[in-house]
Structure 1
Amino acid sequence: MPNKNLSDFEKYILFEKGTEPPFSGEYNDFFENGIYVCKNCGNELYCSDSKFRGHCGWPSFDGQINNNVRQIPDKDGIRIEIVCAKCEAHLGHVFYGEGFTNKNVRHCVNSVSLLFLSQNENK
Protein backbone atom coordinates (compact mmCIF):
# COMPACT_ATOMS: atom_id res chain seq x y z
CA MET A 1 0.00 0.00 0.00
CA PRO A 2 1.53 3.33 -1.05
CA ASN A 3 2.36 5.88 1.61
CA LYS A 4 0.01 8.85 1.19
CA ASN A 5 2.95 11.29 1.30
CA LEU A 6 4.59 9.92 -1.86
CA SER A 7 4.63 12.03 -5.02
CA ASP A 8 3.04 10.68 -8.19
CA PHE A 9 6.51 9.94 -9.60
CA GLU A 10 7.51 8.05 -6.44
CA LYS A 11 4.29 6.02 -6.60
CA TYR A 12 5.03 5.25 -10.26
CA ILE A 13 8.51 3.90 -9.43
CA LEU A 14 7.56 2.07 -6.24
CA PHE A 15 4.19 0.57 -7.18
CA GLU A 16 4.00 0.56 -10.96
CA LYS A 17 7.58 -0.74 -11.20
CA GLY A 18 8.90 2.26 -13.11
CA THR A 19 12.53 3.25 -13.57
CA GLU A 20 14.04 6.67 -13.07
CA PRO A 21 16.28 7.94 -15.90
CA PRO A 22 19.93 6.82 -15.53
CA PHE A 23 22.34 9.24 -13.82
CA SER A 24 19.41 11.38 -12.61
CA GLY A 25 18.91 10.00 -9.10
CA GLU A 26 19.88 11.79 -5.93
CA TYR A 27 21.93 8.85 -4.61
CA ASN A 28 23.75 7.77 -7.79
CA ASP A 29 27.04 9.51 -6.88
CA PHE A 30 26.31 9.85 -3.16
CA PHE A 31 28.69 8.20 -0.67
CA GLU A 32 27.94 9.43 2.86
CA ASN A 33 27.92 7.15 5.93
CA GLY A 34 24.52 5.90 7.03
CA ILE A 35 21.72 3.63 5.95
CA TYR A 36 19.21 3.60 3.12
CA VAL A 37 15.60 2.84 3.98
CA CYS A 38 12.52 2.17 1.89
CA LYS A 39 10.95 5.48 0.82
CA ASN A 40 7.49 3.99 1.36
CA CYS A 41 7.67 2.22 4.73
CA GLY A 42 11.05 3.05 6.30
CA ASN A 43 12.33 -0.55 6.31
CA GLU A 44 16.15 -0.58 6.56
CA LEU A 45 17.50 -1.89 3.25
CA TYR A 46 21.20 -1.08 2.72
CA CYS A 47 24.20 0.15 4.72
CA SER A 48 26.45 2.71 3.10
CA ASP A 49 29.42 0.33 3.36
CA SER A 50 27.74 -1.95 0.80
CA LYS A 51 27.42 0.86 -1.77
CA PHE A 52 29.90 1.03 -4.65
CA ARG A 53 30.41 2.81 -7.97
CA GLY A 54 28.61 0.59 -10.46
CA HIS A 55 28.87 3.17 -13.30
CA CYS A 56 25.39 2.09 -14.44
CA GLY A 57 23.42 5.26 -13.67
CA TRP A 58 21.71 4.01 -10.50
CA PRO A 59 22.91 3.40 -6.94
CA SER A 60 24.67 0.04 -6.64
CA PHE A 61 24.94 -2.13 -3.54
CA ASP A 62 26.55 -5.55 -3.04
CA GLY A 63 24.74 -6.41 0.18
CA GLN A 64 21.48 -5.84 2.01
CA ILE A 65 20.44 -5.50 5.65
CA ASN A 66 19.25 -8.87 6.99
CA ASN A 67 16.57 -10.26 4.67
CA ASN A 68 14.92 -6.86 4.14
CA VAL A 69 15.18 -7.04 0.34
CA ARG A 70 13.30 -9.80 -1.46
CA GLN A 71 14.08 -11.12 -4.93
CA ILE A 72 11.33 -12.15 -7.33
CA PRO A 73 11.31 -13.05 -11.03
CA ASP A 74 10.73 -9.95 -13.15
CA LYS A 75 7.69 -9.93 -15.41
CA ASP A 76 10.10 -9.75 -18.40
CA GLY A 77 11.13 -13.33 -17.57
CA ILE A 78 14.83 -12.43 -17.75
CA ARG A 79 15.81 -10.21 -14.85
CA ILE A 80 15.37 -10.54 -11.08
CA GLU A 81 13.38 -7.76 -9.46
CA ILE A 82 14.16 -6.57 -5.94
CA VAL A 83 11.42 -5.32 -3.63
CA CYS A 84 11.15 -4.18 -0.02
CA ALA A 85 10.41 -7.31 2.01
CA LYS A 86 8.06 -5.34 4.28
CA CYS A 87 5.81 -3.41 1.85
CA GLU A 88 6.81 -4.94 -1.53
CA ALA A 89 7.72 -1.57 -3.04
CA HIS A 90 9.80 -1.90 -6.22
CA LEU A 91 13.48 -1.07 -5.68
CA GLY A 92 15.12 -2.14 -8.94
CA HIS A 93 16.91 -5.30 -10.10
CA VAL A 94 19.74 -7.53 -8.94
CA PHE A 95 22.54 -8.84 -11.18
CA TYR A 96 25.10 -11.57 -10.56
CA GLY A 97 28.47 -12.40 -12.08
CA GLU A 98 29.55 -8.91 -13.17
CA GLY A 99 32.69 -8.88 -11.03
CA PHE A 100 32.34 -5.35 -9.64
CA THR A 101 33.00 -6.51 -6.05
CA ASN A 102 34.20 -9.64 -4.29
CA LYS A 103 30.57 -10.53 -3.53
CA ASN A 104 29.91 -10.54 -7.30
CA VAL A 105 26.39 -9.11 -6.92
CA ARG A 106 24.92 -5.71 -7.81
CA HIS A 107 21.63 -4.42 -6.47
CA CYS A 108 20.75 -1.73 -9.00
CA VAL A 109 18.32 0.54 -7.13
CA ASN A 110 16.25 3.57 -8.06
CA SER A 111 17.20 6.55 -5.88
CA VAL A 112 13.50 7.41 -5.74
CA SER A 113 12.88 4.13 -3.89
CA LEU A 114 15.25 5.12 -1.10
CA LEU A 115 15.59 7.57 1.75
CA PHE A 116 19.06 8.09 3.22
CA LEU A 117 19.58 8.45 6.96
CA SER A 118 23.01 9.78 7.89
CA GLN A 119 25.07 8.03 10.54
CA ASN A 120 24.27 10.90 12.94
CA GLU A 121 20.50 10.45 12.43
CA ASN A 122 20.77 6.76 13.35
CA LYS A 123 22.19 7.38 16.83
Structure 2
Amino acid sequence: MTEDRLSRVFAALADPTRRDIVARLAVGDATVGQLAAPYDVTVQAVSKHLKVLEDAGLVSRSKDAQRRPRHLEAEVFDLMTKWIERYRRQAEERFQRLDAVLAEMDGDEQEPTNRQGAAS
Protein backbone atom coordinates (compact mmCIF):
# COMPACT_ATOMS: atom_id res chain seq x y z
CA MET A 1 0.00 0.00 0.00
CA THR A 2 2.79 2.43 0.91
CA GLU A 3 4.69 1.69 -2.33
CA ASP A 4 1.53 2.32 -4.37
CA ARG A 5 0.95 5.64 -2.59
CA LEU A 6 4.59 6.57 -3.05
CA SER A 7 4.29 5.83 -6.78
CA ARG A 8 1.28 8.14 -7.03
CA VAL A 9 3.14 10.88 -5.17
CA PHE A 10 6.23 10.70 -7.38
CA ALA A 11 4.08 10.49 -10.53
CA ALA A 12 2.12 13.55 -9.43
CA LEU A 13 5.33 15.48 -8.81
CA ALA A 14 6.79 14.48 -12.19
CA ASP A 15 4.98 17.41 -13.79
CA PRO A 16 6.70 20.81 -13.37
CA THR A 17 3.39 22.68 -13.11
CA ARG A 18 2.27 20.43 -10.26
CA ARG A 19 5.62 20.87 -8.51
CA ASP A 20 5.16 24.63 -8.80
CA ILE A 21 1.63 24.38 -7.39
CA VAL A 22 3.00 22.36 -4.45
CA ALA A 23 5.70 24.98 -3.88
CA ARG A 24 3.09 27.74 -3.90
CA LEU A 25 0.86 25.83 -1.47
CA ALA A 26 3.84 25.39 0.85
CA VAL A 27 3.56 29.14 1.48
CA GLY A 28 -0.13 28.91 2.34
CA ASP A 29 -3.56 27.72 1.27
CA ALA A 30 -4.96 29.04 -2.00
CA THR A 31 -8.04 28.74 -4.17
CA VAL A 32 -8.00 27.33 -7.70
CA GLY A 33 -8.35 30.85 -9.08
CA GLN A 34 -5.38 32.06 -7.06
CA LEU A 35 -3.31 29.08 -8.16
CA ALA A 36 -4.28 29.55 -11.81
CA ALA A 37 -3.45 33.28 -11.91
CA PRO A 38 0.27 33.07 -12.86
CA TYR A 39 -0.24 30.42 -15.55
CA ASP A 40 -1.31 30.86 -19.13
CA VAL A 41 -3.86 28.05 -18.77
CA THR A 42 -7.52 27.75 -17.85
CA VAL A 43 -8.82 27.30 -14.33
CA GLN A 44 -10.03 23.88 -15.51
CA ALA A 45 -6.48 22.87 -16.42
CA VAL A 46 -5.25 23.85 -12.97
CA SER A 47 -8.19 21.96 -11.46
CA LYS A 48 -7.03 18.84 -13.30
CA HIS A 49 -3.53 19.27 -11.88
CA LEU A 50 -5.02 19.72 -8.41
CA LYS A 51 -7.07 16.53 -8.85
CA VAL A 52 -3.88 14.56 -9.55
CA LEU A 53 -2.26 16.09 -6.46
CA GLU A 54 -5.35 15.31 -4.38
CA ASP A 55 -5.44 11.69 -5.61
CA ALA A 56 -1.80 11.35 -4.54
CA GLY A 57 -2.64 12.72 -1.10
CA LEU A 58 -0.48 15.81 -1.50
CA VAL A 59 -3.30 18.33 -1.49
CA SER A 60 -6.67 18.52 0.23
CA ARG A 61 -9.50 20.98 -0.10
CA SER A 62 -11.55 22.61 2.60
CA LYS A 63 -14.68 24.67 2.51
CA ASP A 64 -14.47 28.22 3.78
CA ALA A 65 -17.87 29.81 3.03
CA GLN A 66 -17.95 30.09 -0.77
CA ARG A 67 -14.20 29.51 -1.13
CA ARG A 68 -12.66 26.07 -1.43
CA PRO A 69 -9.00 26.64 -0.61
CA ARG A 70 -6.46 23.90 -1.27
CA HIS A 71 -4.09 22.85 1.47
CA LEU A 72 -0.72 21.08 1.20
CA GLU A 73 -0.61 17.82 3.17
CA ALA A 74 2.96 18.03 4.41
CA GLU A 75 3.00 14.61 6.10
CA VAL A 76 3.15 13.02 2.64
CA PHE A 77 6.63 14.48 2.36
CA ASP A 78 7.62 12.42 5.42
CA LEU A 79 6.78 9.28 3.43
CA MET A 80 8.92 10.49 0.53
CA THR A 81 11.76 11.56 2.81
CA LYS A 82 11.89 8.18 4.55
CA TRP A 83 12.05 6.41 1.20
CA ILE A 84 14.78 8.71 -0.14
CA GLU A 85 16.73 8.59 3.13
CA ARG A 86 16.84 4.78 3.09
CA TYR A 87 18.54 4.79 -0.31
CA ARG A 88 20.75 7.75 0.57
CA ARG A 89 22.08 5.80 3.56
CA GLN A 90 22.75 2.76 1.37
CA ALA A 91 24.61 4.90 -1.16
CA GLU A 92 26.61 6.53 1.64
CA GLU A 93 27.62 3.10 2.97
CA ARG A 94 28.79 2.05 -0.51
CA PHE A 95 30.83 5.24 -0.85
CA GLN A 96 32.43 4.63 2.54
CA ARG A 97 33.38 1.08 1.49
CA LEU A 98 34.78 2.44 -1.78
CA ASP A 99 36.78 5.07 0.13
CA ALA A 100 38.24 2.32 2.32
CA VAL A 101 39.21 0.21 -0.70
CA LEU A 102 40.78 3.21 -2.44
CA ALA A 103 42.68 4.17 0.71
CA GLU A 104 43.96 0.61 1.01
CA MET A 105 45.01 0.58 -2.66
CA ASP A 106 46.73 3.94 -2.20
CA GLY A 107 48.60 2.57 0.83
CA ASP A 108 49.70 -0.52 -1.13
CA GLU A 109 51.08 1.66 -3.94
CA GLN A 110 53.05 3.85 -1.52
CA GLU A 111 54.71 0.97 0.39
CA PRO A 112 57.16 -0.09 -2.37
CA THR A 113 58.22 3.53 -2.82
CA ASN A 114 58.94 3.81 0.92
CA ARG A 115 60.94 0.56 0.89
CA GLN A 116 63.05 1.70 -2.05
CA GLY A 117 63.68 5.03 -0.41
CA ALA A 118 64.67 3.31 2.86
CA ALA A 119 67.01 0.89 1.08
CA SER A 120 68.94 3.64 -0.73
Q: Would you call these one fold, judging by a TM-score over 0.5?
A: no
Instruction: Name which one, 1 or 2, has greater alpha-carbon Rg.
Output: 2
Task: From the two aligned structures, give the one with the greater strand fraction.
Answer: 1
TM-score after normalising by structure 1: 0.30
Q: Which has the higher contact order (CA 8 A, sep 6+)?
A: 1
TM-score after normalising by structure 2: 0.30
